[in-house]
């Protein structure tokens, strides 16, 4: 006898909400350095290059774990995998809090990146297990709102917390919240029964991963996803704060207010992207076309930022927040072209490529900015950001051109 189909209320409360707690922490950790950057530079005596490398350590550990993550998700399911990983993030937050030099903080940041590596992919695997395919884009978009809320919490709330406590105490608190998120997932999320015959052996899984990496369906969409998400995460997660202070001339409080607005727009953008993609699909417009429109719009916003024109204009940052993550649609587009039991691995491989490049994007932006001499108060000239963001724009346009010119894969389901 087949088990009854669970209600949407059950899925939302027992599946999506617990995983959303973990994704909230993932984005909070990802974004917090944009606000505490001056504190880190002051306490550690580092420049933009070291700051970028420190912050980007999150991404390299995150990316390196994506291949084993996909195998673990497909073999053991998202509940147990995500609950265990979050404990590594909690440990990383503790190391970051007690670290006394740059090396210690890089280690802590890398442990955090490892621990939150399954934040999105575990939820996408759960969504693929619990929901029909035509609901994936909407569910992904709504779920990712939790990430936006995490980014929101990393702005003004963090700035206010720093007025009363040292940033090390902040990370002790984040460690406790991460443990709580882990326990919530482990004890609240139910297991989804799966037929044993659906799961190939470990050797077969590894061989399939190698096949994914030589599949033209993967490499048609990977570059545009890499360039779009990497530049967006690098700027939102770190360089937006220094840009607002050095180019826009804002003080810390005013910069945090703009970052709060950016994070609010990011939160709305996740939901709006999912809703818009879902509605357009119902009208016969494929996800691939929606993604192209979004990437084109994001390129226009990035061009304005690179020009240095109206750097503190709220509309600019609202637009950046809403559309910078449009390439998240690459995940349901790609997973829709493969079998359900392969969804975890193919999406984590894409995620690994994206986040691996994000490490180089975030760290590389810092080293590029460091090519210009620092002025009074440790600020960098506007030209440093204009050239750096301009390079990001050029790479994005090249990747979009590749996606548009490459022949579409056969039997595309997205």
Residue-by-residue DSSP string for 120-145 = HHHHHHHHHHHS-GGGHHHHHHHHTH
Question: Is pLDDT at 340 greater than 80 in this prediction?
Answer: no
Per-residue model confidence (pLDDT) at position 202: 66
Query: Which pLDDT band, with edges at 50, 70 and 90, does 355 fall under?
Result: confident
Per-residue model confidence (pLDDT) at position 267: 85
CA–CA–CA angle 377, 380, 382 (5° rounding): 130
Residue 46 CB partners (closer than 8 Å, separation 6+): 40, 54, 102
Q: Would you tell me how many other CB atoms lie within 10 Å of the CB of residue 184? A: 18
Summary count for the chain: helices (H), strands (E)? 21, 0
SS3 390: helix
Which of 4-18, 216-230, 348-362 shows the lowest per-residue confidence on average (mean pLDDT)?
4-18
pLDDT digits (tens, 9 = 90+) for 144-192: 788 888 999 999 999 999 999 999 999 999 999 999 999 999 999 998 7
Which of 200-214, 288-302, 345-359, 381-395 shows the lowest per-residue confidence on average (mean pLDDT)?
200-214
Per-residue model confidence (pLDDT) at position 204: 72
Query: Which pLDDT band, with edges at 50, 70 and 90, does 398 fall under?
Result: very high
> CA Rg, the chain, in Å?
20
pTM: 0.79
In order of 25, 129, 135, 228, 260, the CA distances from 174 in angstroms are 8, 30, 33, 28, 19
Would you say 259 and 244 are in contact if contact means Cβ atoms under 8 Å apart? yes
Question: Is pLDDT at 412 greater than 50 in this prediction?
Answer: no
Dihedrals φ, ψ of 411, to 5°? 55, 40
Nearest to 41 by CA among 361, 368, 377, 385: 377
* Top-confidence range, 9-23, 115-129, 387-401: 387-401
Per-residue model confidence (pLDDT) at position 344: 65
Would you say 89 and 116 are in contact if contact means Cβ atoms under 8 Å apart? yes
Mean pLDDT of 37-58: 92
Would you say 378 and 41 are in contact if contact means Cβ atoms under 8 Å apart? yes
Question: Is pLDDT at 199 greater than 70 in this prediction?
Answer: no
Token output for 99: 């670290």
Nearest to 412 by CA among 223, 286, 295, 290: 286
The answer to whether the Cα torsion of 51, 57, 58, 59 is positive or negative is positive
Token output for 284: 């016969």
Torsion angle of the four alpha carbons 144, 166, 174, 272, in this order, in degrees rounded to the nearest 10? -10
Helix axes 167-188, 33-44, angle to 10 degrees: 140
* Top-confidence range, 62-71, 117-126, 191-200, 292-301: 292-301
In the chain, % of residues over pLDDT 90: 60
Question: Is pLDDT at 240 greater than 60 in this prediction?
Answer: yes
Per-residue model confidence (pLDDT) at position 183: 97
Query: Which pLDDT band, with edges at 50, 70 and 90, does 39 fall under?
Result: very high
Question: Is pLDDT at 317 greater than 60 in this prediction?
Answer: yes
Q: Cα separation of 56 and 105, whole Å?
A: 11
Per-residue model confidence (pLDDT) at position 1: 42
Question: Is pLDDT at 85 greater than 70 in this prediction?
Answer: yes
Q: What share of the chain is helix, strand, coil (3-state, %, to 5)?
A: 80, 0, 20
Q: Would you tell me how many other CB atoms lie within 10 Å of the CB of residue 164? A: 8
Q: Can you say how many angstroms the Cα of residue 19 is from the centroid of all Cα atoms in its chain?
A: 15
């Amino acid at each position: 006898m087949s088990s009854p189909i669970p209600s949407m209320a059950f899925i939302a409360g027992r599946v999506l909400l617990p995983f959303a707690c973990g994704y909230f922490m993932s984005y909070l950790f990802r974004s917090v350095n944009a606000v505490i950057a001056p504190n880190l530079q002051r306490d550690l005596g580092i420049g933009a290059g070291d700051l970028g490398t420190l912050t980007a350590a999150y991404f390299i550990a995150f990316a390196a774990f994506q291949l084993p993550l996909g195998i673990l998700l497909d073999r053991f399911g998202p509940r147990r995998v995500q609950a265990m990983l979050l404990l590594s993030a909690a440990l990383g937050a503790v190391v970051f809090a007690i670290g006394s030099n740059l090396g210690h903080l890089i280690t802590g940041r890398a442990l955090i990146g490892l621990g939150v590596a399954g934040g999105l992919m575990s939820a996408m695997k759960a969504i693929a297990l619990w929901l029909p395919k035509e609901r994936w884009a909407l569910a992904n978009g709504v779920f990712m709102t939790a990430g936006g809320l995490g980014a929101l919490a990393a702005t003004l709330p963090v700035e206010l917390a720093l007025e009363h406590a040292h940033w090390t105490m902040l990370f002790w608190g984040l460690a406790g919240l991460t443990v709580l998120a882990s326990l919530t997932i482990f004890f609240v999320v139910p297991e989804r029964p799966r037929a044993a015959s659906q799961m190939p052996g470990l050797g077969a899984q590894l061989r399939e991963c190698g096949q994914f990496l030589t599949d033209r369906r993967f490499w048609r969409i990977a570059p545009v996803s890499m360039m779009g998400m990497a530049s967006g995460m690098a700027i939102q997660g770190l360089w937006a704060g220094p840009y607002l202070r050095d180019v826009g001339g804002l003080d810390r409080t005013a910069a945090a207010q703009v970052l709060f607005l950016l994070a609010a727009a990011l939160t709305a953008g996740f939901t709006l992207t999912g809703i818009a993609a879902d509605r357009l699909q119902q009208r016969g417009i494929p996800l691939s076309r929606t993604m192209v429109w979004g990437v084109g719009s994001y390129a226009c916003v990035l061009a304005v930022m690179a020009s240095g024109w109206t750097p503190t204009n709220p509309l600019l940052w609202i637009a950046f927040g809403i559309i910078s993550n449009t390439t998240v649609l690459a995940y349901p587009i790609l997973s829709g072209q493969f079998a359900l039991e392969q969804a975890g691995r193919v999406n984590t491989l894409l995620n690994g490529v994206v986040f691996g490049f994000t490490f180089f994007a975030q760290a590389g932006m810092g080293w590029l900015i460091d090519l210009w001499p620092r002025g009074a108060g440790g600020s960098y000239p506007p030209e440093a950001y204009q050239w750096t963001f301009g390079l990001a724009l050029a790479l994005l346009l090249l990747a979009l051109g590749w996606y548009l010119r490459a022949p579409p894969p056969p039997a595309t389901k997205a």
